[in-house]
Amino acid sequence: MKQTENEKNSKGKIFWIDDEIELLKPHILFLQEKGYEVFTSNNGEDAILMTQKNNFDLIFLDEMMPGIGGLQVLALIKKIKNQIPVILVTKNEAETLMEEAIGDNISDYLIKPVSPSQILLTTKKFLEGNKIKSEHLQYDYVKEFTEISSSISFGLNTDEWIKLYLHLMERAIDFDEHSELSDLKITLQNQFREANSEFGKFVERNYKKWINEERNNRPTLSVDIVDKFLIPEIQNKKSVFFFVIDCMRYDQWLMFETLLYEYFEIEKNFYFSILPTATPYSRNAIFSGSFPDEIEKRHPEIWAKWEDDENSLNKFEKELLDKLLERRRLKLEKEAKYIKILDANFGKNIEQNILSHTKNNLTSIVINFVDMLAHGRSESTILKEIAPNESAYRLLTKTWFQHSSFFAMLKSLSKEKNVSILVTTDHGSIRSLRDAKVIADKTTSASLRYKVGKNLKCEDKFCVNIKDPSEYKLPKRGPLSTYIIAKEDYYFVYPTEYNYYAAHYRDTFQHGGISMEEMILPVIKLTPKI
């Protein structure tokens, strides 16, 4: 069926149902002048038939009508075409009516008498809101693009890098809702790449200075988390829950946050992960308050079986935290509890018993799912299909959180007064899109964003070459051991079967290297709204 000229030029089809529709003629003419098609009905019976036969974009519905009342019409319309937004127009301001209408899925409501500007604003909100937001996003980003590029090239300090990263991530999430901005999304991706290139140089210039300075003279690092954030909460004599989500990026947290506003006041701080941005280093640094070479001196058993089992390097987190609290002369009334959740069934069990832990001074809970998701996507064609890009990856993580034992635990704890909740992560991840050739011997570690071993060779433009691990406060894995750490979005590939492995690991989420996504991380304090 061909469209009429009016339909082609129409901004949308509005259906107005009101038993006094003739009195609304000025409003209808006003909407028509603004480019909308307006259809009317003065009774519920005809309105239902017209809804069945037509594809309306928006419905204004009078609440008080003879015969079938507004709420009955609403219920029937929702059964016919549930997707159409319905605006209830009423004289009745009773709270019970509003609750009943909301329960019947109204999209909004207006109190009579309504003005033309109210009607137009509501119409634009539902029929043109996405387009208007898209245009504003496009205008704002085009305007700020040059300013951002200029600030990157002139150089930023640590606080400015954090602000820039947060802004770029928040802009990326804004773009997620607008598929028509695909060209702008590519521009933003390129700006991320430009920023990460300069961020890598910034870290390379400053990192060795950071790790040798006093805490007050440097940005907050992994080793400072317990001292700066956790211990003050313990000293407040509350039951403290310390959640560490392995491999959680800031954009993933923003997805979680949308579901938590209902339950908590949310306070955010940020810190920089130590290098390499990998669990054996960064998470041990959090729980121990020490750099890796200091851990090696105090706890040689942690690194003793590196070559045999790299996955065993985080088996001592409880002991590391206990020793740190002991060094800080912090005595707990009850022994600190430590829980690591590696699978859904165990997580469910902890969820069901979470309130029993409110009797503890401190309960630390490590959750590994986000890291497992990142690694799983690298190997699973199904997960790559489900999450082919950053936007879909964010939504996939949000879906997990929405149905996770972690979210259920937080909701349970939100009902407790004497509870303090901290949430953080040990490192993030980056979508690795460019391969870099590396030469190494067979004892080299397997990670794609950093390597530890002998005779490592990689071009400086792709990585930081660490010939003397002690300069970076890293443990030595033998007298000739060195490290290389990837920059930007590069990942390491050996010369043997280079093309196969370059293609296999391209477009996977990896960690261990130097990027804003891996290094700039949130520390969140959740305060229950009770």
Q: Where in the chain are the domains?
A: 5-127, 130-209, 220-429+518-528, 431-509
Q: Give the closest residue to 344 by CA, choosing from 379, 363, 368.
A: 368
Question: Has residue 101 got a pLDDT over 70?
Answer: no
- CATH number, domain 220-429+518-528: 3.40.720.10
Residue pair 481/450 in contact (Cβ under 8 Å)? The answer is: no
Question: Mean pLDDT throughout 311-325?
Answer: 84
| pLDDT of amino acid 113 | 87
Question: Has residue 4 got a pLDDT over 70?
Answer: no
pLDDT band at 310 (very low <50, low <70, confident <90, very high): low
Place of tokens 């590939």: 493
Question: Mean pLDDT throughout 327-354?
Answer: 92
Distances (CA, A) of 120 to 15, 90, 114: 14, 17, 10
pLDDT band at 260 (very low <50, low <70, confident <90, very high): very high
pLDDT band at 420 (very low <50, low <70, confident <90, very high): very high
Residue pair 387/295 in contact (Cβ under 8 Å)? The answer is: no
Q: Give the closest residue to 364 by CA, choosing from 228, 248, 235, 239.
A: 239
Question: Has residue 530 got a pLDDT over 50?
Answer: yes
Distance CA 433, CA 162 (A): 23
**Of 193 and 445, more confident:** 193
Distance CA 349, CA 72 (A): 44
Distances (CA, A) of 179 to 124, 131, 142, 187, 391: 20, 11, 17, 14, 11
* 267-290 pLDDT tens trace: 999 999 999 999 999 999 999 999
| pLDDT of amino acid 268 | 97
Tokens of 469: 């691990």
Measured in whole angstroms, how far is the alpha carbon of residue 357 from the centre of its chain? 27
Q: Give the closest residue to 244 by CA, choosing from 91, 401, 423.
A: 423
Pairing of strands 434-437, 108-111: unpaired
Distance CA 81, CA 75 (A): 10
Which residue type, as a one-letter code, is found at position 215?
Answer: R
Q: Give the closest residue to 62 by CA, choosing from 81, 86, 85.
A: 86
pLDDT band at 401 (very low <50, low <70, confident <90, very high): very high
Q: Exposure of 347 by Cβ count < 10 A (0-12 exposed, 13-18 middle, 19+ buried)?
A: buried
Report the CATH fold assignment for 5-127: Rossmann fold (3.40.50)
Distance CA 335, CA 319 (A): 11
Question: Has residue 240 got a pLDDT over 90?
Answer: yes
Distance CA 131, CA 124 (A): 10
* 31-68 pLDDT tens trace: 999 999 999 999 989 999 999 999 999 999 998 888 88
Residue pair 332/389 in contact (Cβ under 8 Å)? The answer is: no
Which residue type, as a one-letter code, is found at position 391?
Answer: S
Question: Mean pLDDT throughout 329-352?
Answer: 91
Q: Which residues lie below 8 Å from residue 444, measured CB to CB, with a gap of 6+?
A: 451, 452, 453, 454, 456
Question: Has residue 427 got a pLDDT over 70?
Answer: yes
What's the mean pLDDT when you consider all of the chain?
89
* 159-199 pLDDT tens trace: 999 999 999 999 999 988 887 888 888 998 999 999 999 99
Q: Which of 69-78, 252-261, 279-288, 502-511 has the lowest mean pLDDT?
A: 69-78
pLDDT band at 308 (very low <50, low <70, confident <90, very high): very low
pLDDT band at 6 (very low <50, low <70, confident <90, very high): low
Give the relative orientation of helices 279-288 and 317-327 as an angle to the nearest 10 degrees: 30
Q: Give the closest residue to 249 by CA, choosing from 525, 516, 526, 527.
A: 516
Tokens of 204: 């390379």
Question: Has residue 449 got a pLDDT over 70?
Answer: yes
Question: Has residue 13 got a pLDDT over 90?
Answer: yes
